[in-house]
């Protein structure tokens, strides 16, 4: 074989091919042996051109609608609360959410999930120790997110943003996730998610919001 730099330099065409190692298959599972394969530039371009497209956003910003609370959270320490985001939304063919905050994955793929909350306490003597997690009905998905918040002003809120990358395989289609918060007993029995109102006629700031996008 000739030395690589001795080959001619050309402008690549989309039908040209390059060599690569096949590490994972289309479902994300490891490929034994990582065999050397060929890829066309057309396929590489398709991969690079992928982007996350929003499937829906759901928020609990209207306490006037039945089932959507102006505030929500646990009532005791070490007792998980399932977070409600808003009305049910089944507009996407890939993922849906019900009014109880249950997200069901309808198609395999890679998803980007953003959770946003506004945490608030009721007593200036309290330190909140609030935990957040994703739960699939059997086990926890991903890491626990902890927020330690010193309530020095009962009108003060703590904005919490949690980002997750979720890969749904074919065997996980129609599985679900819910999102939970808990008051850990390392802190006070205090802390809920509160909707924030304003005096400008603008929409209220929701106590909980979730946005899910899919890599397409």
- 61 pLDDT exceeds 90? no
Question: Residue 94 contacts by C-beta under 8 Å, 6 or more apart in sequence?
Answer: 55, 105, 106, 107, 109, 111, 214
Residue 1 is predicted with a pLDDT of 62
Strands 158-168 and 81-82: unpaired
Class of domain 52-215: mainly beta
Domains of the chain, by residue range, sit at: 11-48, 52-215
What is the pTM for the complete model shown? 0.82
Q: Which of 207, 212, 210 is nearest to 73 (CA)?
A: 207
Residue 186 confidence (pLDDT) above 70? yes
Q: pLDDT at residue 50 above 90?
A: no
Cα dihedral angle (210, 138, 99, 214), rounded to 10 degrees?
A: 40
pLDDT given for residue 62 in this prediction: 60
For 18-48, the pLDDT digits (tens) are: 999 999 887 677 899 999 999 998 988 888 8
The pLDDT of residue 7: 85
């Amino acid at each position: 074989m000739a030395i690589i730099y001795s080959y001619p330099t050309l402008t690549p065409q989309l039908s040209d091919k390059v060599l690569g190692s096949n590490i994972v298959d289309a479902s994300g599972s490891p490929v034994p042996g990582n065999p050397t394969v060929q890829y066309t530039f057309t396929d590489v371009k398709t991969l690079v051109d992928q982007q996350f497209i929003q499937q829906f956003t759901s928020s609990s910003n209207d306490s006037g609608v039945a089932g959507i609370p102006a505030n929500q959270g646990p009532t005791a320490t070490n007792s998980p609360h399932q977070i409600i985001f808003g009305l049910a939304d089944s507009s996407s063919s890939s993922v849906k959410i019900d009014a109880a905050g249950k997200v069901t994955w309808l198609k395999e793929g890679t998803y980007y999930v953003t959770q946003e909350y506004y945490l608030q306490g009721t007593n200036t003597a309290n330190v909140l120790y609030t935990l957040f997690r994703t739960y699939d009905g059997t086990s926890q998905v991903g890491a626990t997110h902890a927020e330690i918040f010193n309530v020095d002003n009962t009108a003060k809120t703590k904005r919490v943003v949690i980002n997750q990358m979720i890969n749904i395989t074919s065997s996980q289609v129609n599985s679900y996730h819910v999102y939970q918060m808990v008051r850990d007993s390392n802190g006070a029995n205090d802390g809920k998610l509160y909707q924030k109102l304003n005096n400008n006629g603008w929409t209220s700031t929701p106590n909980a919001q979730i946005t899910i996008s899919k890599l397409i």
